[in-house]
Amino acid sequence: HWGKHHRTYVDNLNKQIVGTQLDEFTLEDIILTTYNKGNLLPPFNNAAQVWNHQFFWESMKPGGGGEPSGELLKLINRDFGSFEAFVKEFKAAAATQFGSGWAWLAYKANRLDVGNASNPHPSDEDKKLVVVKTPNAVNPLVWDYAPLLTI
């Protein structure tokens, strides 16, 4: 997969940004800048696919998988009811992604509107794990979510 897809995204992105302001940006900043509120600029797809693939590969480890422990398991149980319910929802998101795309477990911190002086800090209840699916190269970074797992 590296030689056919991932490397092509890297090579194409490098060609697209060489000599531009984007050449000095982090990969995440290239993604956020070129997402352009959904009006994608040319480097977006390559940048996001490079990030998505790197995140996917770095999420794996020999003997990995299975039920997590600690704080992550507590959050999964809180937000999905059980680990089994999370797995079911995650698999369903992946299986029903039409065409090219990704399924994600992400941490979503509900954001307050600017100028909300009555409650300037979100409570713990405002923060939650979500399963989302994204088309093509789009990833949760563009919504200011923290990706935790993808397939």
Binding site residue list for Mn(2+): 1, 53
Residue 96 exposed, middle or buried by CB count within 10 Å (0-12, 13-18, 19+):
exposed
One-letter amino acid for residue 118 of the chain: S
| 3-class secondary structure, 106 | strand
Q: Indicate the length of the chain as a whole number.
A: 151
Are 128 and 138 within 8 A, CB to CB? no
CA distance 149 to 151: 7
Feature table: binding site: 1, 53
